[in-house]
Amino acid sequence: MTVKNVDWIISSRVASASYIVPGSLTANCAKCGELVLVSPSTLEIRQGSHDSQFVCMECGFAMMEKDGSEVMELTPAQVREIEEYRGQPNEKSLRR
Residue 22 falls within a domain, yes or no?
A: yes
Interval 57-71: pLDDT, tens: 999 989 888 887 777
Residue 88 has pLDDT above 60, yes or no: no
Residue 38 falls within a domain, yes or no?
A: yes
Residue 1 falls within a domain, yes or no?
A: no
Instruction: Give the predicted TM-score (pTM) of the model.
Output: 0.71
Q: Which domain holds residue 52?
A: 8-93
- Three-state SS for the chain is CCCCCCCEEEECEHHHCCCCCCCCEEEECCCCCCEEEECHHHHHHHCCCCCCEEEEHHHHHHHHHHHCCCCCCCCHHHHHHHHHHHCCCCHHHCCC
Q: Based on the structure, what is the number of domains in the chain? A: 1
Residue 78 falls within a domain, yes or no?
A: yes
Residue 36 falls within a domain, yes or no?
A: yes
